Structure 1
């Protein structure tokens, strides 16, 4: 598998994680590092946060790459740099995804906002798949994880989030299609759908979350970055090859689409 190897019976590989320096992506990056994998992580503007990650894990194999996921050239450059240093990409984690925080109806979106949602959440994955799947085929192994939103698997409508949800629902079909097409090559593709994880909880641990009661989430605590990272890492395990084309909600029972925080 390229330069990947087994160490103590466990596959040590290389992960490319978009927007892996902060937010939900940070805990995913930390999870891969803690399991002994090398990582290439993209950042958009915050170089300081990316450098902090390197400082936190001085012995880890980390490549930080500036990239705008809406820019095909940047994505190509990111893959080329990752492969040049590590030889292969075993795990493609499409964590980055532009989001418009202002709630607005579809007709109130500008064309630029619509294009950003489609380019960043759907087109970017297409380009990265084109850049990474051929090598995954040759090594007969690959793990792809995309991100959605609660109920994306049902093509649910999401009021005042139409542009974002349209891109993500398209990504559901893309995830399943690539899963079926590439299964014969030992490649899996799955989607994780985070619940309402906001603010500091994006970079929090499960233990930290359990110390604070959340009245909005049926399980009684807020979701965290660690919750998402655990699901991503599970999808990427060598023995998870029977799990492909799957969309999993990680929301603690909260109806994100219809229940709003007061």
Structure 2
């Protein structure tokens, strides 16, 4: 059902033009919401989003943003409020990641800083920017991303800087949940499993046609799995769920699968 008029809810989705974020953006647009979506450098994928939703162009704002840069995050918040006046859903989908497998002692200072700034600091800055609006409206949904085991502060060999930031984000998620509950605001974390390559923008139906013997449920995870989970957590009647960490893995042990 389209939520039109001045009461249309607005979602701010970082890195929402491709990968897991694209499926989340599509889900919010199907719900009839307006969205501000960031991208870092892939202009082609950003424009593809617009071309895929010609009937919803007036509900889409694209903002080029590097979440590791505080100035970019500040500008993003300003542009969002200038055009739409509020943020009801904050989806912190962006999260820098170093694909090279290296131990903690081999990380450079610059790599460490990028992991912390992009995966932890940016969430704090975005939270600070949107929370006054959410409090004023008595409603808000904040979704952060983690990794399997983040809630138990698991170590993750070769992914130490990323993991450290996300484990810190678990505590931040729970603190926000406690502090903002009285204002009708929830904050939860979603932890995707081993969703790679084209499966990030695939549907569940497509995944079921491609058996995956490595995942206990028999299929790979998809972007749709993540989008459906986030959609559920953002519903009005999901207000009893806050400070939770949801692992969407299909039963796969993501951290230790390569050990």
Aligned residue for 2:217?
A: 219
> What's the counterpart of residue 10 of structure 2?
14
SS in 2 for 1:59: helix
Segments ≥4 residues shifted beyond 3 Å: none
Which residue number in structure 2 is paired with residue 106 of structure 1?
104
Superposition CA RMSD, Å = 1.2
Change (3 A) 1:131 1:99: same
The one-character-per-residue Cα deviations of 1:73-102 (angstroms, maximum 9, x if unpaired) are 111111111111111100000000000001
Once the two structures are overlaid, the 10-residue window that deviates more, 119-128 or 71-80, is 71-80
- Which residue of the partner structure matches residue 53 of structure 2? 57
Query: How far apart, CA to CA, are the structure 2 residues paired with 1:12 and 1:237?
Result: 14
1:47 partnered with 2:43: yes
Per-residue CA deviation, residues 127-180 of structure 1 (Å, 9 max, x unaligned), is: 001101111111111000000000100000111111000000000000000000
Aligned to 1:31: 27
Are the aligned partners of 2:3 and 2:32 in contact in 1 as well (CA < 8 Å)?
Answer: no
Match of 1:145 in 2: 143
Q: Residue 23 of structure 2 contacts residue 227 of structure 2 at CA under 8 Å; is this kept in 1?
A: yes
CA distance in 1, matches of 2:188, 2:208: 27
User: Where do 5+ consecutive residues of structure 2 fail to align?
Assistant: none
Q: Flag structure 1 segments of 5+ consecutive residues without an equivalent.
A: none
Write the distance in 1 (CA, Å) between the matches of 2:80 and 2:235: 21
Q: Deviations over 1:104-132 (max 9, x none)?
A: 10001111000000000000000001101
Aligned-partner Cα distance in 2 for 1:57–1:106: 43
Alpha-carbon deviation of 1:237?
A: 0.5
Q: Map 1:119-138 onto structure 2 (within 5 A).
A: 119-138=117-136
- Please give the alpha-carbon distance, in whole angstroms, between the structure 2 residues aligned to 1:58 and 1:78: 23
**How many angstroms apart in 1 are the aligned matches of 2:258 and 2:34?**
39
- SS of 1:78's partner is helix
Could you tell me which residue of structure 2 aligns to residue 234 of structure 1?
232
TM norm structure 2: 0.96
Q: Distance in 2 between matches of 1:34 and 1:6?
A: 10
Count of residues paired in the alignment: 254
What residue is the counterpart of 1:196 in the other structure? 194
Would you tell me which structure has more helix in proportion to its own residues?
2
TM-score (normalizing by structure 1): 0.95
Instruction: Compute the displacement of 1:56 (Å).
Output: 0.7
Counterparts of 2:79 and 2:237, CA distance in 1: 28
